[in-house]
Amino acid sequence: AQKVTQAQTEISVVEKEDVTLDCVYETRDTTYYLFWYKQPPSGELVFLIRRNSFDEQNEISGRYSWNFQKSTSSFNFTITASQVVDSAVYFCALSEAQGVDSNYQLIWGAGTKLIIKP
């Protein structure tokens, strides 16, 4: 069975601190995709990253970085030098690619609410 676990319900840090959001997944497939989305108070989901199961390289995009570890089935997200604008709910999701007919259905984590205090 597929499952995504975001054990941290809520994290609160002071601005400029680094913060890591955890994501652990379960899947039997060898080919899959992992995603992170940001959902600010407006509600609109903002795509942050997609990573396929064959690419274990860590990714850095500005203050954001992602650590993909297949050995521990984790795909953690770190924000460096956090800012108030980073306050949002962050979702991790898993999609199991099943060939050309796949509709890439997403399995969602429960989300982590990140509060950045000024």
Partner 1 sequence: GAVVSQHPSRVICKSGTSVKIECRSLDFQATTMFWYRQFPKQSLMLMATSNEGSKATYEQGVEKDKFLINHASLTLSTLTVTSAHPEDSSFYICSAHGLAGSISYNEQFFGPGTRLTVL
Q: How far is the CB of 78 from partner 1 (least distance, A)?
A: 21
By C-beta, is 60 or 110 nearer to partner 1? 110
* Location of structure tokens 């509060």: 115
In the complex, which residues of this chain contact partner 1 (CB under 8 A)? 33, 35, 37, 42-45, 47, 50, 91, 95, 97, 100, 102-106, 108-111, 113
Q: What is the rounded CA–CA span in Å between residue 45 and residue 41?
A: 10
Judged by CB, which is closer to partner 1: 3, or 16? 3
Residue 66 Cα distances to 17, 98, 100, angstroms: 17, 25, 28
Q: Which is nearer to partner 1, 35 or 68 (CB)?
A: 35
- Within 13 A of 22's CA, how many CA atoms are on the CB side? 10
